[in-house]
Amino acid sequence: MSVTQFIYGYLNEKPVNAFVIENTKGTKIQLLEKGATLDKIIIKDTNGDFVDILVGHEDLDGHVNRSDYQGVVVGQYANRIKDGKFSIDGKEYNVTLNEKGITSLHGGGEYSSAVWSSEVLSDNSVAFTYHSPDGKEGFPGNVDVKVTYTLTQNNDVELEYRAVSDKKTVINLTNHAYFNLNGYDSGDILSHTLKINADRYTPIDEVSIPTGDLPSVEGTPFDFREEKTIGRDIEEDFTQLKNGLGYDHNFCIADYDGTLKTAAIAKADKSGISMEVKTDLPGIQLYTGNFFDGTIKGKGGVPMTKRCAFCLETQVYPDTPNHPQWPGCTYDAGEEYVSKTVFSFDVD
């Protein structure tokens, strides 16, 4: 195992560092201080060739100026908050409306656009830290955040999140990696198979805010309890697919109890690479690259086209601060937020 460090680029004339962790199998992950980004996952496919399975950017300019959250850590509240409003103990907070001026998305982009501090912890682990000042993007509390990435010999990519605030606040962190298990330059992901351990999901309205219902996936295009291709039902005449322009929905993980559970398993049809996603959080967001239109070019100059990647973002449910009946996201001053997500890779 080894960690190497180099300067990835410069932002405001200050260096932004990258780190490459490699195990003895030749599997590598590349991490960036900007956004605490998971920038590359390079792994051997069924033919013995190494492929990068993350769709993203190849330089800092792309990450700064053309990003759609590729690989970044998002917070202070991942996903959406209706009208950018929520209350804690009767006090209303108004946070940044950065999506069409009507919703707050991914905490206003604060964590994802920041350059984090970094520390190499061992020969297979790197930590990133960030201080969010009280009132930033409207969220209460001085919040100190730490995200640790670890690559194991078994091709597990482990993400540990920790955060603590000096005021009662809401916290919901995730990584927004875009996966194409056939390789970033291999076209769409519609033939990938996917299984999601969820019997309910959170429907959304026309602006992607949860309605508050938690219906069964039974008999809908959202039933991934048995493995099926991502593309099998994605074009069905179904209101929820129209609202999201495809899958852009939270799935409620079955039998949630706060322990690490398998939330999803995805498999590529060409590379033979499979990925298991484990989390101790109650939800996972499936997003299928619905808004890409090919105008933005990523790694190798490859256009990012509709359905070229998928995301599986572990989380509490979207807009949870306005739905107290759902698994909570509010933390007292001094109470530590701790969560773990694991991406485990294998190849046929």
Query: Coil, strand or helix: which one is 232?
Result: coil
Of 252, 255, 314, whose CA–CA distance to 279 is shortest?
314
- Indicate if 176 belongs to the active site: yes
Using CA atoms, how far apart are residues 134 and 161, in angstroms rounded to an integer? 20
- Catalytic residue (one of 57, 63, 106, 176): 176
The domains of the chain, with CATH numbers, are 2-347 (2.70.98.10)
pLDDT of residue 44: 98
Query: Which segments in the chain show pLDDT lower than 70?
Result: none
pLDDT of residue 27: 98
pLDDT of residue 327: 97
pLDDT of residue 287: 98
pLDDT tens sequence across 247-297: 999 999 999 999 999 999 999 999 999 999 999 999 999 999 999 999 999
pTM over 0.85: yes
Strand partners, 29: 21, 41
Beta-carbon contacts of residue 234 (< 8 Å; ≥ 6 apart): 190, 221, 241, 246, 247, 288, 307
- Indicate if 313 belongs to the active site: yes
- Catalytic residue (one of 22, 33, 137, 313): 313
DSSP letters along 275-343, please?
EEEEESSSEEEEE--TT--S-SB-GGG-B--TTS-BEEEEESPTTGGG-TTSSP-EE-TTPPEEEEEEE
pLDDT of residue 113: 97
pLDDT tens sequence across 62-76: 999 999 999 999 999
Residue 227, Cα to own-chain centre: how many angstroms? 21
